[in-house]
Amino acid sequence: MMMRSARAVPALALAAGLPTALPAQRGLNELGRNMKMLDKNFDAADRNHDGMLTRQEAQAAPFFARHFDAIDAENRGEVSKQDVHAYVARPLKSTSRKNTPTSAGSASHP
């Protein structure tokens, strides 16, 4: 009997529409860990420690080597941590724009 009640509480919370931020929090934590790992790999690949990765330095880290041209959106031939962060954030920004109602969309419905 006690076991059945313990399982019913989370189900009731979901049915009642109570906020469940745990999956979103996990996603943000995972993103934070990934960004820290990217920063660590960036620092390791930055042989001259100037805060920039050249194409040659990027070859030391598979992610940077594979995505160098896309990260280097300004075609400078080198990328900074800010460039990497912007590259990683691009899909997140486009997803959030798709899920945000626009004023034009809301005006079309009476």
56-60, 86-90, 105-109: segment of lowest average pLDDT = 105-109
Return the pLDDT at 62. 94
pLDDT tens digits for 9-62?
Answer: 444 444 444 454 456 667 778 878 889 999 999 999 999 999 999 999 999 999
Return the pLDDT at 28. 72
Only one residue has tokens 């059945």, namely 4
C-alpha pair distances (Å), 66 with each of 75, 80, 89, 95: 15, 16, 17, 23
Is residue 68 predicted with pLDDT exceeding 90? yes
Comparing 89 with 79, the larger pLDDT belongs to: 79
- Give the Cβ contact number of residue 79 at 10 Å: 26
> Does the global pTM surpass 0.85?
no
Return the pLDDT at 99. 56
